[in-house]
């Protein structure tokens, strides 16, 4: 059923986007690039590359403080071109230490073939410059070509610390206030792959990891989106995966998540699955395999001690007559010394 809009009614972001699309030759005048792939090498180092573009509308992005500042501050990783939408000037890989969330599940996993024959291409975490993207095995997924209008000034910006999938979901959320969170990787992997495959089709809200979105919303100052991701993370915690998540490098970064994980662990610590997982995990901590686990251990021990103190029965003081008797005997015994 159609309705008559008031002339003074404010348009929603998606309504503004559609309204401006009637007049602009290409209203998607900002191309935000983010990395899509992580390669893990035999020496344990990681390589993140293959940026892909999210075509967006700057007039809508400016509603958010982070993007408004990004679009007006002369960001270092910005390329401005008239009538051209190309990624040729966009850096193709993350610099060492630039993408600190190595386990981001919104990055596609890629193997590295024939490394036994040539490990010289595997970068160390401190190595710089790193090998070119062309030296890596695998083919880049084909992107839909842009059809740039010659009279439009395009801005191409690399956002090197978030994944393409997360960024796509974020921009879609800014437009529509809709979000589609995937199951955690620590849940049933087959279910996650199946949900991801279905969600990648047309007509579906772009999917992303709630942990990846929590991190992005924290970086970009979007508290309402961060709260939605937080709720999705908590809803995904079960006795089967709580230990893995609680001792993960991701939870170690965020005190709010870590403290909730500790509280949940203390409620179900007698569960046989939790006890077994804790035993194995503490062995890894003792061997130095989880160097980021100090925060969760401090929280666990602190809460356990507090609970022990609260559970300990309080012994009432003895009657006054008993205290006086003990005092007299004490004085009397000293007289014999």
Query: What pTM, to 2 d.p., does this model score?
Result: 0.76
Looking at residue 140, its pLDDT comes to: 44
Looking at residue 135, its pLDDT comes to: 41
Distance of alpha carbon 207 from alpha carbon 209, whole angstroms: 7
Q: Which residues contact 59 (CB under 8 A, 6 or more apart)?
A: 16, 20
The pLDDT tens digits for 178-188 are 999 999 999 98
Q: Cβ distance 182 to 206 under 8 Å?
A: no
| Model confidence at 113: pLDDT above 50 | yes
- The structural domains of the chain, with segments of one domain joined by +, span 13-236, 237-310
> b/e for 222-236, b at 16 or more Cβ within 10 A?
beebbebbbebbeeb
For 186, which DSSP code?
A: T
Q: Is 161 exposed, middle or buried (0-12, 13-18, 19+ CB in 10 A)?
A: middle
Q: What is the mean pLDDT of residues 145-170?
A: 80
| Model confidence at 292: pLDDT above 50 | yes
* β-pair type (153-163, 30-40): parallel
Tell whether omega for the bond before 223 is within 30 degrees of 0, i.e. cis: no
For 203, other C-beta atoms within 10 Å of its C-beta total 4
173, 171, 174, 194: which is closest to 182 by C-alpha?
A: 194
Residue count of the chain, please give it.
337
């Amino acid at each position: 059923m159609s309705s008559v809009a008031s002339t003074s009614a404010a348009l929603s972001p998606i309504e503004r986007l559609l309204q401006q699309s009637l007049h602009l030759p290409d209203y998607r005048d900002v191309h935000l690039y983010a990395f899509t792939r992580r390669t893990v090498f035999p020496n344990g180092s990681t390589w993140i590359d293959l940026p892909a573009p999210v075509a967006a509308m700057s007039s809508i992005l400016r509603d958010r403080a982070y993007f408004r500042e990004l679009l007006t501050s002369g960001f270092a990783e910005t390329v401005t071109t008239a009538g051209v939408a190309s990624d040729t000037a966009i850096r193709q890989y993350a610099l060492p230490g630039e993408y600190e969330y190595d386990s981001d599940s919104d990055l596609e996993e890629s193997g590295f073939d024939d490394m036994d024959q040539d490990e010289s291409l595997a970068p160390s975490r401190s190595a710089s410059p790193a090998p070119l993207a062309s030296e890596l095995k695998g083919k880049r997924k084909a992107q839909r070509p842009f059809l740039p209008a010659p009279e439009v000034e395009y801005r191409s910006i690399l956002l090197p610390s978030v994944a393409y999938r997360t960024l796509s979901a974020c921009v879609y959320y800014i437009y529509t206030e809709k979000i589609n969170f995937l199951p955690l990787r620590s849940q049933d992997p087959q279910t996650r792959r199946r949900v991801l495959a279905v969600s990648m089709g047309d007509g579906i809200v772009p999917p992303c990891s709630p942990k990846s979105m929590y991190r992005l919303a924290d970086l970009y100052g979007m508290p309402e989106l961060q709260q939605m991701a937080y709720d999705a993370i908590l809803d995904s915690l079960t006795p089967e995966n709580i230990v893995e998540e609680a001792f993960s490098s991701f939870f170690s970064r965020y005190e709010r998540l870590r403290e909730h994980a500790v509280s949940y662990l203390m409620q179900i610590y007698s569960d046989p699955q939790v006890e077994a997982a804790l035993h194995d995990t503490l062995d890894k901590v003792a061997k130095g395999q989880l160097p980021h686990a100090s925060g969760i251990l401090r929280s666990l021990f602190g809460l356990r001690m507090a609970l022990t103190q609260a559970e300990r029965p309080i012994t009432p003081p003895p009657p006054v007559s008993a205290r006086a008797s003990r005092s007299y005997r004490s004085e009397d015994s000293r007289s014999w010394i």
